[in-house]
Amino acid sequence: MTTPTAAPIPERYHGVWQRTLLESPEGRDTTTWVRWLQTGLWHGDLRVPAEADRSTPPGRAQQQGFAGTTAITRPDPALPEVCTWQRTIDFQPPRSTPDAGHMVFETPDRVIETGIHGTYLEVWERLPGSIGQRIALARLGPNGEPTAERLLVCGRYLMHLCPRDTPWPADLAPDETLADLMQRHPHQASALLNFTIAFGTWIDGMWTVERATRPALEGHAMTFTLERISNTVVNVMSNGMPPRWHVLEWHAPD
């Protein structure tokens, strides 16, 4: 895996964004817990429906989350700029259309997204304390190669994304959901759900998980420190976390 050389996105997008409203043909949603963390190039996303019974595999399959790089373009000067989330890992099966929306900033901390490949409107509001330091790390594999596992930091917030090892079944249909897939392959449910996304605050060397695809992690607090040992390598010191990580992005002002 190589580090993308795409241009960093504008600073107005940096930080952690909370979705406060979704309007679509299916209705209006103000209860799903959604966080979009955006560094200078990399993003992480976690979405937990309020009505999902996450004590069951079908309930956990309703969650969403992904990570990758972000691109900001303006192909049509007559229209708002376009934000495209280029997913490299995804809790749900791959989509047949790009994840992209027109973006209009009502204020510096409030942006309205409208769909390009679908009919929807989303309102995003930036969380206080989510700008300043921006860090993106990829876990190093046994042979020293960067893997798809990510640690992302914006301000006082941290997100860990560890994708499943299991490939999608060969009969995966276009735009199928994880819940659909698990119904057809119940014997693979545990492996298909083996995808950890955890988000929380990182303050004074303690990371406290607020939401996670594994509900048992929520509320858990652990020591977490980063030691940069070279331009490209960071040691992570935290219970149960892999120790060696590759630097994708590092902006940590004094």
pLDDT digits (tens, 9 = 90+) for 94-106: 999 999 999 999 9
The predicted pLDDT at position 6 comes to 67
Average pLDDT, the chain: 96
Placement of tokens 């376009």 in the chain: 82
> pLDDT class for 1, splitting at 50, 70, 90?
very low
Structural domain boundaries in the chain: 11-126, 134-251
The predicted pLDDT at position 253 comes to 84
Residue predicted with more confidence, 60 or 253: 60
Q: Quick one: which of 175, 149, 177, 181 has its CA closest to 164?
A: 149
The predicted pLDDT at position 67 comes to 98
Q: Report the C-alpha gap between 211 and 123 in whole angstroms.
A: 20
Express each pLDDT in 28-85 by its tens digit.
999 999 999 999 999 999 999 999 999 999 999 999 999 999 999 999 999 999 999 9
> pLDDT class for 8, splitting at 50, 70, 90?
confident
The predicted pLDDT at position 177 comes to 97
C-alpha angle 198-199-201 in degrees, rounded to nearest 5: 135
Q: Report the C-alpha gap between 230 and 216 in whole angstroms.
A: 35
The predicted pLDDT at position 2 comes to 41
Express each pLDDT in 162-177 by its tens digit.
999 999 999 999 999 9
Residue type, 104: V
Placement of tokens 């860990």 in the chain: 160
Checking if the pLDDT of 142 tops 70, the result is yes
Assigned CATH class of 11-126:
mainly beta
Q: Report the C-alpha gap between 78 and 7 in whole angstroms.
A: 23
Q: How many CB atoms lie within 10 A of CB 104?
A: 12
Residues near 20 by Cβ (< 8 Å), separated by ≥ 6? 30, 123, 124, 125
Q: Report the C-alpha gap between 182 and 185 in whole angstroms.
A: 5
**Total-model pTM:** 0.96
Express each pLDDT in 196-239 by its tens digit.
999 999 999 999 999 999 999 999 999 999 999 999 999 999 99
Residue predicted with more confidence, 136 or 240: 136
**CB neighbour class for 32 (10 Å; exposed up to 12, middle 13-18, buried from 19):** middle
CA-CA-CA-CA dihedral for 145, 240, 190, 136, to nearest 10: -50
- In DSSP notation, 96-129 reads SS--EEEEEEEETTEEEEEESSS--EEEEEEPTT
Helices and strands (DSSP H and E) totals, the chain: 3, 17
